């Protein structure tokens, strides 16, 4: 295996594991707050990555996408957290908040990795591995958060849109769930999703992270 590839995997491994693990745990945690203990009872409201890692989605697919796009795109997923939406105190709106919890957690992680990068600079720690990891942490979490907000089930954005739509349209959208993953992968591989959704929203995410971190950076200049 090429040394640069090993280093790239090492740089991305920790941010990817944290991004996916905390994303799934956030779903389960918010579901518990809103009335459904399913994920909690099954041990999925956990920071232990082994409870969330899916061999295909967490390992195989990110590597496949990395090679297929020449390193330009990497995406993965964990084992979905079991949520019994009917157990939520308000199933319609509760499902929306549970779905938003994962992407929101990713955006907070992107900010945290940005703070880590700023701390490295302030402390004059010029170690390329850690600076690349900080940048990877921001990028991975923005990509994961944005792609999960795409409005197609079973992605989180699809469940949010289902909650917002009138019942008739919501039922029609929900029927796409068995095919949603394959539709999204096709849109990714053809570049359509990247062009019309991922690139502009990730760019906006970087702008927001930069705007939040700029006052922090200015304190140490």
Query: 69 is written with which tokens?
Result: 């796009």
Q: Using alpha carbons only, give the angle 107, 108, 113 rounded to the nearest 5 degrees.
A: 95
127 is catalytic: no
Cα–Cα distances (Å) from 33 to 2, 26, 28, 163, 209, in that order, read 46, 11, 9, 18, 28
Q: How far apart are CA 195 and CA 111, in angstroms?
A: 24
Of the candidates 24, 74, 142, 193, the residue annotated as catalytic is: 24
Sequence-distant (≥ 6) Cβ neighbours of residue 75 within 8 angstroms: 61, 62, 65, 143, 144, 147, 188
CA-based nearest residue to 19, from 146, 110, 155: 110
Q: Give me the active site residues, please.
A: 24
């Amino acid at each position: 295996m090429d040394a640069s590839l090993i280093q790239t995997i090492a740089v991305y491994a920790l941010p990817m594991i944290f991004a996916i693990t905390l994303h799934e745990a956030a779903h389960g945690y918010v579901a518990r707050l809103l009335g459904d203990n399913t994920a909690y009872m099954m041990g999925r409201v956990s920071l232990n990555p082994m409870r969330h890692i899916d061999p295909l989605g967490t390992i195989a697919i990110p590597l496949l996408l990395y090679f297929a796009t020449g390193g330009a795109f990497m995406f993965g997923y964990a084992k979905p957290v079991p949520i019994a939406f009917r157990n939520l105190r308000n199933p319609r709106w509760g499902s929306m908040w549970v779905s938003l919890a994962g992407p929101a957690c990713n955006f907070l992680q992107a900010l945290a990795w940005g703070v880590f990068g700023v701390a490295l600079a302030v402390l004059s720690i010029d170690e390329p591995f850690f600076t690349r990891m900080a940048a990877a942490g921001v990028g991975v979490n923005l990509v994961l958060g944005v792609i999960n907000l795409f409005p197609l089930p079973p992605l989180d954005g699809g469940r949010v849109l289902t909650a917002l739509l009138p019942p008739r349209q919501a039922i029609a959208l929900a029927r796409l769930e068995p095919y949603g993953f394959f539709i999204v992968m096709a849109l990714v591989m053809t570049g359509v999703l990247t062009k019309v959704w991922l690139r502009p929203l990730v760019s906006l995410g970087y702008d927001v992270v930069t705007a939040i971190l700029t006052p922090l950076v200015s304190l140490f200049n």
